[in-house]
Chain A
């Protein structure tokens, strides 16, 4: 009897102690999680992928109502500017038709010249179409969640494109889900070419809607309106995917507006170029953020 009473007293003391230090313990646990996350990036990577795989069915379920809501909002906005939009599109159509003629002529000419020069194409790219089921857009990250994963052939480092141009790269891959890191994210570094001058540069995101062009040999050569395309350096991206155009050049700062409209993405294509294994190699411009490349160097 006495032993039981003693036990209950001790248990009560322990319980009171835990309650008194509950806040401290919880704070410690949170710091512990942060430290573990910093120390063991592979573990965190696995946890992230697991969380994504668990969350993606729920997100798929709510994707439809969210899409309806988005469409309603877009309808309301577009209704206001229908007339101007129509005029603009008609003008653009006329211009594009002219370009189409030019492109056909050039394509024929290019093909002929390649035949003459015995030119060898790079690996053939194939596409995986995916629906965006989640945004990971906050004040600190620019990205999205796709409903395709390893099962569909998605691998880290692959390019993600829209109809207009490059959107980003695959950062993490689960069984049935993947996370895209947009080119606008602060972790994004992309080897690019300036289309007109064929000059190489690195396009960096800083979480703002516009991108920063860095490591230019000569800033003076860049003009407003210059198109920026992927250079294919680093191996995982095909050459020549349009990324954006220069909108501002002022004392060493070159700002680029991406072609992809991140505010209305619904479907994207993942480009499987077949050589993603090269990204982990120590290429001069590190094209992948640390977390993504860390996963890929595994044998």
Chain B
């Protein structure tokens, strides 16, 4: 019985920590010296993909302050001299807020809709980072690499999203918001 209790606790902790850990991994992976053409272009956008996908599935396990910290870490690791620190954090927070605000259109809908949603939000993210970097460093930054990055990550989304979406499986909390109910233990409906 006690072992069961410990296992359950461990399981709960693992589940709670999983999205954050995967996001941290993706943030570190942006630095991996991968030589695969195209794939390496997409690496800097993979954290944004993880944020989108986990915000769909379990936004409560990806709290805003964590996203802020991860975004700042990403900017510190990836940014060149003079690049703005915190623009990725801003992007992450906005992605999460948009997903949470639009859950009815994104959760429990055909995959194509989710993909379309990701296209929109990732596009917004790329434009945000590009614009801020350009203004912050006051240089005309060639937008073509950013566009390539965007296209690659949009194409990659159908490959990665189902993997990340598995975090929802076997989770009783993961029923759509309205049907979850607000009753407390012992409370009865009149």
A interface: dominant SS = helix
**Contact among B77, B130, B139 for A139, CB-based, below 8 A:** B130
Report if A290-B68 is in contact (Cβ < 8 Å); known contacts: A59-B31, A140-B133, A140-B141: no
A135 part of interface (Cβ distance < 8 Å): yes
Inter-chain contact B31/A291, CB cutoff 8 Å: no
Hey, what's the 0/1 contact readout for A59-74 against B, CB within 8 Å counting as 1?
1001100100110011
Residue with the highest number of chain A CB atoms closer than 10 Å, among B29, B31, B71: B31
Inter-chain contact A135/B34, CB cutoff 8 Å: yes
Q: Which residues of B contact A135 (CB under 8 A)?
A: 31-34, 40
Interchain CA distance A185-B80 in the complex, whole Å: 9
Q: Which residues of A contact B93 (CB under 8 A)?
A: 23, 26-27, 30
B55 part of interface (Cβ distance < 8 Å): no
Inter-chain contact A141/B64, CB cutoff 8 Å: no
Q: Which residues of B contact A31 (CB under 8 A)?
A: 86, 90
| Total interface residues in chain B, CB < 8 Å | 51
Interchain CA distance A230-B117 in the complex, whole Å: 49
Q: Which residues of B contact A70 (CB under 8 A)?
A: 33-36
**Contact among B33, B72, B73, B78 for A141, CB-based, below 8 A:** B78
B interface: dominant SS = helix
Inter-chain contact B68/A29, CB cutoff 8 Å: yes
B146 part of interface (Cβ distance < 8 Å): yes
A-B interface contact total, Cβ < 8 Å: 153
Inter-chain contact B35/A263, CB cutoff 8 Å: yes
A93 part of interface (Cβ distance < 8 Å): no
Inter-chain contact A181/B80, CB cutoff 8 Å: yes
B145 part of interface (Cβ distance < 8 Å): yes
What is the minimal beta-carbon distance from A214 to any residue of chain B, in angstroms? 14
Of all chain A residues, the one with the shortest Cβ separation from B91 is: A30
- Which A residues, 17 to 63, have Cβ-Cβ distances below 8 Å to chain B? 22-23, 26-27, 29-34, 36-38, 44, 47-48, 51-52, 55, 58-59, 62-63
Which residues of B are at the interface with A, using a C-beta cutoff of 8 A?
28-37, 40-41, 43-44, 64-65, 67-68, 71-73, 76-87, 89-90, 93-94, 97, 129-130, 132-133, 136-137, 139, 141-142, 145-146, 148-149
The 7 A-B residue pairs with the shortest CB-CB distance in the complex, in nearest-first order: A33-B86, A291-B81, A141-B80, A134-B31, A37-B85, A30-B90, A139-B145
